[in-house]
Amino acid sequence: MRGFVLLKPEAIQRNLVGKIVCFIEDKGLKIIGLKMITATEDQIRQLYGEHQTSSHYDNLINLCANGPVVAIAIESPLGIDSAELLKDLQGKHDVSGTIRFYFSSHPSRGVLHCSSSGEGVRESSIFFNESEINNYRKVLDEWIVSNHTTASSFDSSKPRNSEPLMSRGMDGRKVDLLFNQLSM
């Protein structure tokens, strides 16, 4: 399921892009589109359309349209809703381990926008053409899936050496740690 992240100009000015990308990848999310642009006011208005009646709407538009931003389209493995992972990743200013906790300079001022559930495709289409989205398989995705099959789904007729490369010789503990991290 596709999600979308927009790193606001403050993240770029404070050299946080690489750190935030690491947070995203460490959460197990796959980056399928990434670019730095100077967003137009129209793009930002489309992104934040549901906040038009909010008192901080104009400030939000000005903040996001006053410098370069980094647009990131993401996917999550195993059919996990990427929006839920993004919500946990973005977090609140006072919750340890979240992007806002580590990088926001003020409780009301986030350094990124994360899509809500069901909004990832719409929001990413504001900043990406479909030709700019890279759909690819990661070996890690297959490794996670292959190590979480049940005994009844194991096909004993399949030669052992046909398993995905990274799952050979693994005892399951590492994948369980990663899977638990993904489902947190």
Query: Which residue, among 17, 50, 180, has the nearest Cα to 122 in the 3D structure?
Result: 50
| Angle (deg, nearest 10), helices 173-183 and 139-146 | 100
Q: To the nearest 10°, report the CA torsion of 118, 59, 20, 26.
A: -30
Q: Is 113 a catalytic residue?
A: yes
Structure tokens at 40: 């137009």
Residue among 51, 93, 106, 113 flagged as catalytic:
113
8 Å CB contact between 32 and 136 = yes
Catalytic residue set: 113
